[in-house]
Amino acid sequence: MHSGYYDLEAVAEGVRDGAHRQIIGGLWDEIGDHQMAFLKAQGLTPNDRLLDVGCGSLRLGARAIAYLDAGRYFGTDISETLIDAGRAQELDDALRARAPRDHFAVNDDFDFGFLPEPVDVAIAQSVFTHLPFNHLRRCLARLAPHMAVGGRFFVTYFDCPEDADLYLPRRQEPAGVVTHDYQDPYHYRMSDLERAVDRAPWRYQPIGDWNHPRGQQICVYVRT
Ligand SMILES: C[S@@+](CC[C@H](N)C(=O)[O-])C[C@H]1O[C@@H](n2cnc3c(N)ncnc32)[C@H](O)[C@@H]1O
What CATH number is associated with residue 190?
3.40.50.150
Least Cα distance to 77 among 69, 90, 86 occurs for: 86
Nearest-angstrom CA–CA distance, 14 and 81: 10
Nearest-angstrom CA–CA distance, 1 and 183: 10
Termini Cα distance of the chain: 33
Do 136 and 193 meet the contact criterion of CB atoms below 8 Å apart? yes
Identify the pLDDT of residue 30. Answer: 97
Flag residues of the chain having pLDDT under 50: none
- All residues at 6 or more sequence positions from 169 whose CB lies less than 8 Å from its CB, including other chains: 178, 179, 180
Cβ–ligand 1 distance for 81 under 6 Å, the answer: no
Expressed in angstroms and rounded, the spacing between residue 57 Cα and the centre of ligand 1 is 9
Expressed in angstroms and rounded, the spacing between residue 73 Cα and the centre of ligand 1 is 16
Identify the pLDDT of residue 120. Answer: 98
Amino acid letter at 206?
P
Identify the pLDDT of residue 3. Answer: 92
Identify the pLDDT of residue 223. Answer: 98
Q: What is the SS3 assignment for 21?
A: helix
Domain region containing 129: 4-223
Expressed in angstroms and rounded, the spacing between residue 77 Cα and the centre of ligand 1 is 6
Nearest CA residue ID for atom 26, ligand 1: 56
Nearest CA residue ID for atom 15, ligand 1: 5
Do 169 and 183 meet the contact criterion of CB atoms below 8 Å apart? no
215 HSE (CA, 13 A, CB side): 16
Tens digits of residue pLDDT in 82-121: 999 999 999 999 999 999 999 999 999 999 999 999 999 9
Expressed in angstroms and rounded, the spacing between residue 203 Cα and the centre of ligand 1 is 24
Nearest-angstrom CA–CA distance, 81 and 7: 12
Do 31 and 25 meet the contact criterion of CB atoms below 8 Å apart? yes
Identify the pLDDT of residue 158. Answer: 98
Cβ–ligand 1 distance for 105 under 6 Å, the answer: no
Nearest-angstrom CA–CA distance, 51 and 116: 12
Nearest-angstrom CA–CA distance, 11 and 23: 7
Nearest-angstrom CA–CA distance, 21 and 149: 34
Least Cα distance to 112 among 77, 135, 142, 137 occurs for: 142
Nearest-angstrom CA–CA distance, 217 and 81: 28
Least Cα distance to 177 among 215, 218, 217 occurs for: 215
Identify the pLDDT of residue 1. Answer: 80
Nearest CA residue ID for atom 10, ligand 1: 127
Q: How many domains in the chain?
A: 1
Atom of ligand 1 nearest to the CA of 24: 2
Nearest-angstrom CA–CA distance, 87 and 81: 10
Expressed in angstroms and rounded, the spacing between residue 78 Cα and the centre of ligand 1 is 7
